[in-house]
Structure formats: C-alpha cells, structure tokens
Structure 1
C-alpha cells in the first residue's frame, strides 16, 4: 500500500466509501456474469454462444481481486455487496432483453454506462484503489464482437435499428436512475463525491457535468453500433 493510500484510509468515512464502491462493482460483475451466461442461450450460432460465454467469464474474472481488496480493508466481501443486490437486480429485472440483439445492446451499452459511472467516481480515489477499479472495468476486447453483430443485423433488416435505438434509450434511462439512487442512498459515496479536506469534490454543477459526460459516452456507443441515441 502506497503512502498516499495509507493516509487516505486514515479517514474512516473514506474507507467506508471505498468498501461501498468495491462492493457495488463486485456484485455488478457477478450479476453481469449471470446475465451474460443466460443471454448466451439466445445466441443464434455456436460461435456467438462462445463469444457471449467468454464475455461472462471475463466479468467474473474480476471478482476475486475486488474481494481480496475488500478483505484487506477488513471488510466482509459478501456484506459489502449486500446493499447493492436490490438496486442492481432491479435494473436487470426492468431491462431483461427479449431477444439476442437486445441482449447484445445491453451488454455493450448498459454495462458501458455502469462502468462509466464507476470510473467517474474512481477519479476521487487513492491511486491504488483507482487502479484496481479501472482494471476491473476493462473492456477485455469483446466490444468489437457486439458492434460487428449489431451492425450486420441492422444492415440485413433496417427496421431492427429503430427498435434497438428505443431499447438503448430505455437502458440509458434506467441506468441513470439506478446510479443516481445508489449515490443518494449511500452516505459514504455521497461524501466521497463531495470531497474532503485532502480530496477534491463535486458540487451540484460538477455532478451534473459528470452525468452529462456519461450521457455523451452513451451516445458515442450508440453511434458506433449504427443507432440513434
């Protein structure tokens, strides 16, 4: 643990915020693994099934490092994840895909928005924790597969594009709602965003700009898929 990291964790509120954040990300990874493995059943070809299963495996592969860090901080990883089960499960319940292509959009756009939110928060963390979070949110190189499949499907059936664009907007709305709810419900995370004596923070205007950046990155992903945001 670096010197700057040690100093940061002298603040019990900061430690609580980090435990919250790592717990949220860890459960998000487990939930993504379950969902992607389930979505693989919708795959039209064996190649697609294997690609989706590989995405699921990559998500689950990040959990061990997150749980190890939680244990190092003296936290029970399962207790740290527990507060986030309901909001994350609720998001997946509200956004269950009806078909293979909706599942692809959710894997690319929905997960991308969640990762953007966590990366924004990571900017206010000590270097060691920030590096761990960024590593856990790495793409793992699967985006190209999703973009290729969605673009090919729209080229074959242009009407599909309209339906998937609507689906993408729905995902954005649900993801932003859940992200704002989590940030508001967890006092330590709210305090982390507000900053401290030795850490910069966000005022309401800055928080608004943060969500604007997340929305802009969502629009860029939709455009890469050939969809209107």
Structure 2
C-alpha cells in the first residue's frame, strides 16, 4: 500500500483523542468499539490481500514476478499478524472483530475477480490504495498508540511501484491495453467506494469516529468531503499508471 501523510484531525474532539494514548482514550466505550471495528476491518483486509497476492503469483508471467508477489504476500500476512496481536492485547478476539467485515469484502472480491495478470495488478493497486486512503482518514482521529499501528500496517509493501512498472510497460507494448485497463479501474473505483460507504453506514461507532465526534449520528457532509478526497487521490494514481480516470 502506498504511504502518505495522514489527514489532520478537523474537530476539537478528534484533536483531543489524537493527543491521548490508548489507556486514556479507551475509557470511552464508544471509542473502544470504534477501534475494535477498525482493527477488525483492517485485519481482514490484510488477510484477504495476502490470499489475493498469493493467487496472483500463480498468474505471474515470470519466475521473478512470482517471487516478488510472494514476498509482498508475506509482508501483508505480517501486517495481519500485527493487527490480530494488537486485538488480543486489548482483550478482543480477532475472529469476532473481523467477522462483521468478511461478507462485504468477500463480495467485493467476488464482484471484481480479474480475468488476467494485468487486471489483477490494477485491482490490487487501485483497491489497496483506496482502502489505505480510507484508513488514513480514520487514523487522524485515533489515539497515538493505535494510530502508530495503523499507519505502520499501511506501509507500502513495494506493490505500488511494482504494479506501475508492469502496467506502464504493458501499455507501451500495446496501447490498446490502456483503454481496457482504464475501464476496469473505473469499475474497481465504484465498487471500492460502495464497499467503504457500506462499512461507514453499518458500523455506528466507526462512522461517528470518522467525523471526530462522540455525539450521536454523523455529519453526511463531512463523509462526502472524505470520499471526495479519496476520489482525487485515485485520479492522481491513475495518471501515474498511465490510465485515464
């Protein structure tokens, strides 16, 4: 996943939490529930990324590509282990924390199964980047201990530069590939945003934390601005890939 600076907390409540450690912030049961949701969603996402990269390695056109993807898959699994270890440390059962997010993520992967090696590369690059942007938005509102862990597991495993190199090379060899992959990436963007919006809508504690408030409900305008920022970042990444957004 790509690295980037996390957004600046916007509300006074978010700033207050961001200046606290886990021991202080988790005294609020609503905040604790939000963090458990976040860690569960992230952990399942990392597990799914590991599985996907291992599958993509089977489609790799060369032994070098196969080995590169295997290394990245191992890095994703290490991230998964860090997250589940943290859940156990705060006395939460990892499987229970991940379960609420499994169906939505599994459905996303079912709806966006790539048909070839290049589509698999674009899917991982686009999908992982959108997810990373989403989680960085949340990270800005976390206590210092949890924020450090979340940003650490969002570190780029090397996949971004790998995917950009392979996709751009393929387009240079055959420009027609670019049109097909651009359409594919637009579909991925729509599916990924729909999934993220479902997560926000379905998990009250997480959606409340997203807008930095502990009041009931959440600000739809702020959620809209967050997704606009994610869309803008996606457009820039598409240009890096050599594709139109």
TM-score range, shorter chain: over 0.9
Query: How far does the alpha carbon of each residue in 1:161-209 deviate from its partner, in whole angstroms, 9 at most, with x for none?
Result: 0000000000000000000001110111122124346x9x973222211
Per-residue deviation, 1:217 = 0.9
What is the 5 A alignment of 1:14-163?
14-163=31-180
Q: 2:25 & 2:35 partners in 1: Cα distance?
A: 10
> 2:51–2:73: 8 Å Cα contact kept in structure 1?
yes
1:175 and 2:160 matched? no
Partner residue of 2:10?
A: none
Per-residue deviation, 1:11 = 0.3
Q: 1:71 & 1:122 partners in 2: Cα distance?
A: 20
Q: 1:112 & 1:96 partners in 2: Cα distance?
A: 17
Per-residue deviation, 1:124 = 0.9
- Give runs of ≥4 in structure 1 deviating > 4 Å: none
Q: Choose 50-59 or 145-154, whichever is displaced more.
A: 50-59
Normalising to structure 1: TM-score of the pair? 0.94
Q: 2:229 & 2:182 partners in 1: Cα distance?
A: 19
> 2:34–2:209: 8 Å Cα contact kept in structure 1?
yes
> 2:25–2:143: 8 Å Cα contact kept in structure 1?
yes
Query: How far does the alpha carbon of each residue in 1:27-70 deviate from its partner, in whole angstroms, 9 at most, with x for none?
Result: 00000110110011111111111111122111111012111111
Please state whether the residue corresponding to 2:21 is helix, strand or coil.
helix
Per-residue deviation, 1:220 = 1.0
Query: 5+ unaligned residues in a row in structure 1: which ranges?
Result: none
Partner residue of 1:210?
A: 226
Q: 1:112 & 1:178 partners in 2: Cα distance?
A: 14
Task: Pick from 214, 219, 226 the counterpart of residue 235 of structure 2.
Answer: 219
Query: 5+ unaligned residues in a row in structure 2: which ranges?
Result: 1-18
Q: 1:34 & 1:126 partners in 2: Cα distance?
A: 30
Aligned length: 226
Please state whether the residue corresponding to 2:114 is helix, strand or coil.
coil
